[in-house]
Structure 1
């Protein structure tokens, strides 16, 4: 649950960074905010990938190593 909370936090930060891009007054401010939005997007994706990997059931190593002839 902690990872999902971290993903939600990162998503909120990404949303704020995107808003800063939209309301930037200068091109420099917009570029900086865009870099922050990209960084937060990567953080969200990492957190969600980790949550997905935890929710997948582990496959049995016995079944994958057997071959039928």
Structure 2
């Protein structure tokens, strides 16, 4: 192999490596953002579940508190 061929192959490999490093950094940023979003959604779902449980019990009256149906 002649030196110009080796130099051009090295340049090509360096270019590909730089592109791959940039892509990895971009993907890492996206993954970190998605992780933060998922954690926030999980906290919100937990809060909604707690709120639903507390509201669910208070919305239903006991049988003694219920008025009889109109046909009685």
Q: What TM bracket, shorter-length normalisation?
A: 0.3 to 0.5
Q: Which has the higher contact order (CA 8 A, sep 6+)?
A: 1
Tell which structure's C-alpha radius of gyration is larger. 2
Report the TM-score, using the length of structure 1 for normalisation: 0.45
**TM-score, scaled relative to structure 2:** 0.44
